Structure 1
Amino acid sequence: MTEAFTVHALRGVLVSAGLLAALPAGAAPAAAPVITGQPQWQVLQVGQRAGFLVKADNATGYQWYAARPGSGPTAVPGGTAPFLLTAPAAQGDDGTQYSVIVTGPGGSTRSGTGTLYIGPNADGSPPDSVLAAAGDIPAARNVMTLAFLNASLGRVPDSQMFWSLQYRDGSGNTVKEAHSFAEKPYFDLPKVGGTRLYVYVAPDAASIGTGQKNYFDFLELNVGQDANNGPYWINMDTTRVDRWGLPVAFRLQCGDGTVVERGDDVGLFVDDRDVTLMKYQAELGSPWNAAAQQSWPYGIDEPGAAGFGKNGPYSGYYSSYIDEVWRVDGLTIPKPTNFLDLATQLPDLSGALNRHVAAVTGAFNPDGTLADKSFWSKHPPTSFYGAIPSNFYSAFWHEHAISHLQYGFPYDDDASQSSDVGCKKPQSLIVGVGF
C-alpha cells in the first residue's frame, strides 16, 4: 500500500465517521498557517507597555500566551489579534515570555517566544552596547569629537547610515559635511553656532533627504565660545517638535567629568519600526492612530502636520478646551487657529494647554502671561496629559525618552521637561542612531 493511498484511506475513514468534512472533488486540503514574522524581544522601563507582533499567512485566529519566570504559559485575556499590547510592566515581569497560537482552516501553529526584559538602567538610558564608552573616541583638535554609532541592532549596515552638518567657518564660508557612518564615524567639530545635525538611513548618499518619504531625524546644537577666547561651550537637544523618524540618543562628555544622556530610551532602539507604530496607535487610540499613518513607515508627524492642524479632520480636537481656558482664565488674546499655535510667544500658556492643566482661575493674566508664579510647582509632571484633550503625541515621546525628558512641542522646556542640556569645555558627543 502506497503512502498516498494510506493518507486517502485514512481521510475516507474520518469522513465516514463524521470526524472530518468531505472536500469537494479535486480540492486540496486547506493550508496550515505559516508564521512569517516572529514576536521579538522587548526592553522596557517599569510602567511601560510591551508590544508583541506576529505575522502569519493563512491565519484567521490568534491567542497569545504569557509565561512568567518559573511558570508555564497561560492565555492572555483579550489577546486575540496579531498585535498584543501588554499591561504596564512591573519589575517582576522581567523575563516573561510571550508566544501566540495562530489558527486557520488548515490547523494551528505556535510561534516562537518574545521575551519582556526590564532595562538595566532605571531611567531608560541605553547600555554601552547602544552608546559606546567615551574613552574609545579620539581626542579633539578643535572643540570636541563627534562619534556616530550604528545602534540599529544589525538592521542597517554602517554604509547605509549617514550624517550631515552645515555651518559657517571662521572666515564666514558655508561648510557642508555629509558622510556615511562607515566613511567617517568620527568628526573633529569646530565652533558651528546654532545648527542641526541630521542623521539618515538610505541605500546610498544620493538618496538621503528630509522629505516625507525619507528616513531621517536631527538634533539641535549650538557650539560657541565665551568672550575674549574663553572656554568653548555646547547647548543641544533631541527634539520631537517636528516628527519622529529614527531612534536617536546621545551621550555628552564634558570637561568637568559630567556625562549626560538624552534622547529615545533603549526600548525604541530595540523595537521593530512596525511595533513602534502599533504601540503608538494602541496606546493613544483614536484619532491619533489614524494621524500616525500619514508618513509611515518613514516617521510619525507632529499633530499640527498630521490632521490636527487648520482645516484638518481633527482640527476641532482642542476647540472646547480652548474655549474653557479662555473663559476660566479671562484671556483676551486671540485663540489659536492652528494646533495650539499662539499668535505670540507664551511658553507657560503653551505648555499648560498641551498638558491639559491650563483651566485654572488666576493662573494667567488676560494677555496670556503667567500670573501665578508657583503654577508649575502646583502642577507637577504627574498631572500632565491626564485628560482629553491633551497632546498625547508629546506624552508618548516623553514616556519613551531617557529620564522621560524630550521636546514634544514648542516650549516643552517649561517645568524642566525638555531634553535640552549644555556644558562648558565639551570633550565628546556620541550620537547613537537606530532604525
Structure 2
Amino acid sequence: MVTTNIQTARSVGRRRMLALVLPLATLAASVCAALPAYADVPTIVQNNTAGAFADDQVYVTILGKDPVTGNLSWVSADGQLVAASVGDNDADGHLSKNGQNYPNHGFTLAQAQNLKLPKMSSGRIYVSVGEPVYLKILVAADGLTGFAGPNPQNPTDANNDVKLDWYEFTYNDSGLWINTTQVDQFGFPLTLNVTGEGGFQKRVGIEQSRASIYAAFKAEVPPEFVSGADSDTRILAPGKSTFDTGQPNEHYFDSYIDQAWADYSTRPLVIDLWGGARRFSGQVQGTTLVFNEVDLGNGAYVGGQYLVQKPTTQDVLEAKGSLAQGNDAEKALETQISAAFNRHVISDVSKWSDPTAWYQAAPANYYARFWHDHSIDRLAYGFAYDDAQEQSSTVNTAAPTQITLGVGW
C-alpha cells in the first residue's frame, strides 16, 4: 500500500493545482464581497452498471481532512463527518482480508439515499464493486493521522484484486473543486455532474462501457503502453507499470529531455504564468534551467532567479523529483514544463496552449491522450499536471447545489 497522510491523499498534480488555486480564491474572497458559507452538498450516486452490480454491491468510501480540526475524517452514509483514528482498524464491524484488519468506513449505494458531501480538503471518494476498498488508518512520519491507499505495485496489497476507482475533491467556503482521474489508473468508467447557483452545470468523465474502453486502449495506444492493460482489474498509468525505474521503458523520454536541454542551452525558454501577469525567461546552464523574471511593468513583478533541474522520464510522467520541488513560482514553471514534455511540445511554446498540436509525435504520453480522446468534452486527468491549459476534468463552482456521481461498467 502507499502510505499517505491526508495532505497527500490526492494525485501530486491535483495537490499542486489546489496549492496554486486555493490561495488565490481565498484572496479574492477577502478583497471582494465575502462568499456565503454553503451547506453540505446533496450527493447522488447513480448505479450505471447496467445490471452488472446491484446497489448493495457498489461501495463508497469518502476520506478527507476536516476543515475545522485538520484531522483525517471519513463520511458516513448520511453525510456525517467522523474523525478517523488508528483504533478504527480493529473496531467492531471492521473489515478483514489476507489476515489484516481494516476500518469499515464505507457504505453501499443501497445505504446512500441521504448522502451529502460536507466541507473537506484533500478528499477522495473511492468507489469499488463487489467488495469495499481496504484502507489502513495509520500515523504518518510527521505525526499526522493518515491512511495507506491502494498500491498495485505492492504484490501483497489487499486491493490488488479489487476493481476500484475514485474522485478527488476539496470543498470549502471558497467553493467546490472536484474531478475524476486516471493519473494513477483506470478501474471503470465514472462520470461527474455538478450543478450550482446561477445556472451553473458541468459534466465530465467517461461514458463508454468498461469493455469498450479496454478494447479501444489496446487498439489505439502504441505497443509500449499496452502492457498497462495486462490486468483485468485496472489499466495502470505508465509510471506505475513498465515506464517505472528498472522497467523496460524507464528511459522512454530521456533522449527527448536531452534534446530539449541542449536546445534551451542555445536559446531562451520564455514562459508566462498567472494569466500572463508574470513572465520568466530561462536558459540551460549545465543540468539546470535557470529562469529570471522579466519586468512587464504591470506591478506584478517580483524578480529573482528560479531554477528547474533536468528531469528523468519518471519525473515527467509522475510529476515528481525535479518537477515537484522549489518555491511556488518554480513549481508553476515545472507544471508547464512537465505538461509540455508529456504532450511533446516542449520545443515550441506557441503550441503549449493548442490542444490540436499535442501528442502528434513520439515520445509522448499516449496513455494521457487516450483518456482525452474518450472523455466528455476531451477533459481528463491523464497525468498529474493535466490541469495545465485547463484540460483536466476538474469542476469548480463557488456555490454547488448538487453532485451526481455516475458509476459505470
| TM-score bin (small chain) | 0.5 to 0.7
Contact 2:126-2:133 within 8 A present in 1 as well:
no
Structure 1 residues 206 and 309: CA distance shift in structure 2, 3 A: closer
Contact 1:144-1:189 within 8 A present in 2 as well:
yes
Contact 1:317-1:389 within 8 A present in 2 as well:
yes
Match of 1:292 in 2: 229
The DSSP-based 3-state class of the residue aligned with 2:56 is helix
Greater helix fraction, Structure 1 or Structure 2 = 2
Match of 2:169 in 1: 221
The DSSP-based 3-state class of the residue aligned with 2:61 is strand
> For 1:353-432, what aligned pairs fall within 5 Å after superposition?
353-360=341-348, 363=349, 376-377=352-353, 380-432=354-406
Contact 1:335-1:342 within 8 A present in 2 as well:
no
Report how many residues are paired: 268
Deviations 1:88-136 (A, max 9, x none): xxxxxxxxxxxxxxxxxxxxxxxxxxxxxxxxxxxxxxxxxxxxxxxxx
> Is 1:199 matched up with 2:147?
no
Shift of 1:188: 2.0
The DSSP-based 3-state class of the residue aligned with 2:199 is coil
The DSSP-based 3-state class of the residue aligned with 2:53 is coil
Contact 2:359-2:365 within 8 A present in 1 as well:
yes
Gaps of 5+ in 2: 1-37, 76-105, 137-148, 151-158, 266-283, 289-308, 324-330
Shift of 1:359: 2.2
Q: Given the two structures, how large is their TM-score scaled by the length of structure 1?
A: 0.58
Contact 2:67-2:121 within 8 A present in 1 as well:
no
Shift of 1:388: 1.0
Match of 2:109 in 1: 181
The DSSP-based 3-state class of the residue aligned with 1:343 is helix
Match of 1:166 in 2: 63
**Paired letter, 1:412:** D
Q: Distance in 1 between matches of 2:364 and 2:406?
A: 30
Deviations 1:349-375 (A, max 9, x none): 101100001123xx5xxxxxxxxxx55
The DSSP-based 3-state class of the residue aligned with 2:368 is helix
Structure 1 residues 143 and 206: CA distance shift in structure 2, 3 A: closer
Shift of 1:206: 7.6
Shift of 1:179: 0.8
Q: Which structure would you say has the larger RCO, counting Cα contacts within 8 Å and 6 or more residues apart?
A: 2
Contact 1:310-1:337 within 8 A present in 2 as well:
no
Shift of 1:207: 11
Q: Distance in 2 between matches of 1:170 and 1:422?
A: 22
Contact 1:356-1:388 within 8 A present in 2 as well:
yes
> For 1:68-147, what aligned pairs fall within 5 Å after superposition?
142-147=39-44
Deviations 1:265-313 (A, max 9, x none): x2x2xx343x4223211111311112321xx211111111111111111
Match of 2:249 in 1: 314
Shift of 1:174: 4.7
RMSD of aligned C-alpha atoms?
2.3
Gaps of 5+ in 1: 1-140, 227-232, 364-373
Q: Distance in 1 between matches of 2:342 and 2:71?
A: 40
Structure 1 residues 190 and 206: CA distance shift in structure 2, 3 A: closer
